[in-house]
Every structure is written in structure tokens, then in C-alpha cells.
Amino acid sequence: MKTADRELLLAHVLGKERSWLLAHDDVELSSEQERLFAELLARRAEGEPVAYLAGTAWFCGRPFEVNPAVLVPRPETEQLVEAALAHLRAYASPVVLDVGTGSGAIACTIAAEMPNAVVYATERSPGALAVAKRNALALRVTLSLSKGDLLPSDESVRFDAVVANLPYIPTADIPDALRYEPREALDGGPDGLREYRRLLERLPQRMNAGALILLEAAPPTIAALADLAAAAFPGARMSIGSDYAGLDRYVRIEKAAGGHAVN
């Protein structure tokens, strides 16, 4: 087991930050704390994510509540947020959508970084939606959260940016290492693109001119996803972005501007 995992779990048991623990390495545990720590270590040894055991994951420098109803936010997803924010800074009051928000990490981060943005977030899982609502309250950000399938039901709403981290692992390829995370947030169907195919059928008519769409996937499915995106947005500028490890991680679609870059 990684030393960092042990330290995070011990800090959780003590109700302290990990930084505090590193400065107090002589701390003594009560018998109840020892029992709880041993239990958490055993569960971690079985493969349960540290974030679930501690109930918290950090994303873009902020803590988010997580539990088995939501995926644990990954560092590579932070790059999508960075790309979205860079695009949105050109707008006075941008309208943004996070599709399949899960814990709300993407939507909450954008709302926190850009208080002038109108941020929508959709989620079909009631359990995940409840987590996202609690995270928005904890971070004191305003989101338009709705339980629904991919897009908000109000068809008059148009977006300046859309970020989506939908299920993208082919059904047969879901690794056992992810068995603790919600399968519905992982399983992208036979080719891993079932949900993205559905999204791209509906998305073009909901985008403003000059809008940016960011779709997270993984190296095995990126090329096919880029082809789907090109077919859905003919004439748009297409590119593939890499994660911190240099792996193909997301498809970037930049819709042609229609006159004004600032709304």
C-alpha cells in the first residue's frame, strides 16, 4: 500500500488535514481510532478507493464529497476544465453545460472560477445528483442542476461551452480495478461510444456560434469519437488533447464564430 494512502486514511481517522499529520508524526490513536484505521486499511488493501473511504476527493484544488454513487474525479479531467475556462474568459456572461455531472466537480469548479457564468449540469442518477447538490452548497456556488438525460429540457437554452465526461469504456473492457465505482458511469456500451453518440445527435442545435465542446474519453476510443464529432459538426475546428501523461484524452470541437465573440 502506498504511504500516501496510509497517511490520507490516518488523517481522515484523526479528523485532520494530511499536512497536520506530517507535522505530528508522534500522535497516538485511541483504541476506537486504531480499530477504524485498521478497518480502512483492510478495505483499501481489497482495492476500495481512498476517496470513498475518506469521503473526499480533491479536484482543481477544492475538496469534493464522493461516495460510491459517483466516479472519483481524476486529475486528467482538470485539463478539460482549464481548457473550458480559457475559452470562457472571452465572454461577459457565458452559458455552460456539464453533461453527466456526477459529483459536480466540473460544474462547481467552473462556477467557482467564473461567478459571472450561468452553469447548467445534468445527471440521470438520483444518488449522484444528490452528491452534486451537496457539493454545490458546500462550495457556495450556483448551479442549474437537473435530473435528466444529457441536455436540459428547456430547448431554448443555448451554450457557449459544453464539457462532457460520459461513460467511455467498452462494456467488455471495464477492469476489475474499477469494481467499486458506479458501472453506469463507466459502461459506454459495446464500443464505448453509446452515450457520446446520443449526445452528438442532439448537441449541434443547442450550441451558440463560436462555442467550444470538450469530450473526455481514452486512447482506444478517441479516434472514433473524433470521427463522430466531425460528422456532427461539419466545418468545426477539431483537435485531440492529451492528458498530463501525454495520452490522448479529449476531443476538442470549436464551432465557427458567427460575428461576436463576447455575449
Does one domain contain both 97 and 39? no
Does one domain contain both 11 and 106? no
Return the pLDDT at 150: 96
Return the pLDDT at 261: 38
Predicted TM-score (pTM) of this structure = 0.92
Return the pLDDT at 59: 97
Find all residues with CB under 8 Å of 59, minimum gap 6, and list them: 73, 77, 78, 105, 109
What is the pLDDT tens value at each position of the chain, 263 positions in all? 788 899 899 999 999 888 888 788 778 899 999 999 999 999 999 999 999 999 999 999 999 999 999 999 999 999 999 999 999 999 999 999 999 999 999 999 999 999 999 999 999 999 999 999 999 999 999 999 999 889 999 999 999 999 999 999 999 999 999 999 999 999 999 999 999 999 999 999 999 999 999 999 999 999 999 999 999 999 999 999 998 889 999 999 999 886 433 33
Does one domain contain both 190 and 244? yes
Classify residue 68: in a domain, yes or no.
no
Question: Rounded distance, CA 96 to CA 75, Å?
Answer: 21
Does one domain contain both 35 and 118? no
Does one domain contain both 98 and 29? no
Classify residue 129: in a domain, yes or no.
yes
Does one domain contain both 187 and 233? yes
Classify residue 18: in a domain, yes or no.
yes
Does one domain contain both 229 and 178? yes
Q: Give the E-state strand segments of the chain in sequence order.
A: 56-59, 62-65, 95-99, 118-123, 144-147, 159-164, 207-216, 237-242, 248-254
Classify residue 183: in a domain, yes or no.
yes
Q: Domain containing 94 — which CATH number?
A: 3.40.50.150
Structural domain span for residue 31: 3-46
Does one domain contain both 202 and 241? yes
Does one domain contain both 35 and 80? no
What SS3 class is residue 84? helix
CA distances from 240 to 97, 105, 194, 226 (A): 20, 22, 19, 8
Does one domain contain both 117 and 27? no
Return the pLDDT at 21: 81
Return the pLDDT at 258: 66
Classify residue 64: in a domain, yes or no.
no
Classify residue 186: in a domain, yes or no.
yes
164 has which bridge partners? 99, 215
- Total domains in the chain come to 2
Does one domain contain both 84 and 207? yes
Return the pLDDT at 259: 40
Work out whether strand 144-147 and strand 118-123 pair parallel, antiparallel, or are unpaired.
Answer: parallel
